[in-house]
Every structure is written in C-alpha cells, then in structure tokens.
Amino acid sequence: MFTGIVQSTAEITEVTDHNGIRTFVLKFQQGFCTDLEVGASVAVDGVCLTVTALVSEISASFDVILQSLRITTLSQLTTGAQVNVERAAKDGAEIGGHPLSGHIDFNTPIADINYMDDNCRVRLSLAAAWEPYVFPKGYIALNGASLTVSQVNKTEGWFEVWLIPETRRVTTFSAKQVGDAINVEIERGTQVIVDTVRATIQESLGEWLPLLEKTLAAQGVDIDTLGQRIQSRITQKS
C-alpha cells in the first residue's frame, strides 16, 4: 500500500526489453534506497513495481509486464525521463493522502493547464467509462500523487485538480505539458460504493429502473451520483 504522498523524483537511466518484459533502472535521490531490498515495492508514477536488483546505493531495477505497459504510461518512458516515486508505506505510517494500491486504472491526456500566480489548475480528459467514480471533492491519484478533484464536466468529458507549489516542487508535474498522458488510479472506496449502489438498485427495481433514472434525470441526478454522494459523506465523516 502507498499513501499518495510522492517522496521524490527519480531518473530512468536504462531501459531494456526481453521476451515481453521491460526492465527499468532508476537512479534515486540520496537516501531513498536506505534499507531497500529486492522484492520491495516502489510506486513509479503511481505504478506498483517490485525491486528486482539493487544496482548501486542509489539505483535499482524493476521489471514491467506487458499488461502494465498497455494500461500505464510506462511504455512511453525512455532513458532520461523523470518519474514520481514513493516507497511502500510501513505499518502505522501516517496516511497523508489516501490509501493507494499502485494498480493503475487508466491513463489520460492533460487537456489544459492554467497558472494563476502560485496556483496551478490542471484539466484532464475523462472517458465515459470512468465518470461514475470521479466527482468534486473526491480523491484521485495522478502519477502516484493523492489529489482532490475540484470540478467535473461529464458533458465535455473532463475533470480538474489544483496543484499547490509544494506538490509541483516535489513531483514531475511542473514539467508536464498539454497532451502528456497521466496515470490515474481511482479511489477504491468510491468504486465499491458506486458499483454496489447501482447493482442494488438494479436488482431491487428491475423493470422499474428506467422510470427511476428518468425521475432522477429530471433533477439533474443519476444513480452513480447517489453512490458518489454516499461516498462523499463517508469521506467527510472520516
């Protein structure tokens, strides 16, 4: 498990491919590898990877399988690229962001970046399949960083987050440009509740479901929004 608080960035110093496996060698900042062992987990741009070898006091290698290359942005990375990194959380560690599994759901391009003094608002494209799980004030992880969704537009297919100066300083976000793809992990609690609410309503109402959806639509609400609101209240209470 990870906390969603990116600890630093790392540089990819070597990339090799063999039998469908891509191996990355990462050079970390001083101190990151202290007590790091083969078999340990490290989130690389939000992707949970396993240390396969310790190359030096500040370098380690990781293998990435084909499925991860297909879903994440790791397939696009080359030597010299900078990535966000976080070591797996230890028992009792403070969760400064929100719990992350390191299992990426999809990647999506940056649609717009807007700087206002020290504020930075980033807009990202949102496919219809993932709309039920992304809502204002909900958690989301972008390249391993735990962030809060500020606004969602389902009609136009996008969502926005705001980045504080400290987040931009510690991560690679300051170097990102419009069109760059970002790894996204949705918040698991949200997914479970939204899916459960929808399944329960469908099972209970059966043929009456279209009528409920029509009634909710007239109020600007849908079934997935009900699940989102339940999750939002749970998050606020916790």
Q: Assign 38 to helix, strand or coil.
A: coil
Q: What is the spatial distance between Cα 225 and Cα 233, in angstroms, rounded to a whole number? A: 12
CATH of domain 8-87: 2.40.30.20
Looking at residue 63, what is its pLDDT?
Answer: 98
Domain ranges of the chain: 8-87, 106-187, 189-237
Looking at residue 170, what is its pLDDT?
Answer: 96
Cβ pair 176, 113 in contact under 8 A: yes
Query: pTM for the complete prediction?
Result: 0.85
Q: Where are the alpha helices (DSSP H) in the chain?
A: 66-71, 165-170, 188-205, 209-218, 223-237
Mean residue pLDDT of the chain comes to 89
Looking at residue 208, what is its pLDDT?
Answer: 65
Looking at residue 193, what is its pLDDT?
Answer: 82
| pLDDT per position as a tens digit, 104-115 | 999 999 999 999
| pLDDT per position as a tens digit, 192-235 | 888 887 777 777 767 766 776 677 666 666 666 655 666 566 55
Q: In the Cβ-directed half-sphere of 26, how many Cα atoms lie within 13 Å? A: 30
CATH number of 106-187, picked from 2.40.30.20, 3.40.718.10, 3.40.50.11540, 2.30.110.10: 2.40.30.20
Cβ pair 204, 171 in contact under 8 A: no
Q: What is the spatial distance between Cα 39 and Cα 190, in angstroms, rounded to a whole number? A: 30
Other C-beta atoms closer than 10 Å to the C-beta of 106 total 16
Q: What is the spatial distance between Cα 127 and Cα 131, in angstroms, rounded to a whole number? A: 7
Other C-beta atoms closer than 10 Å to the C-beta of 212 total 16
Looking at residue 221, what is its pLDDT?
Answer: 62
Domains 8-87 and 106-187 share a fold: yes
Arithmetic mean of pLDDT, 6-33: 97
Q: Rg of the chain over CA atoms, in angstroms?
A: 19
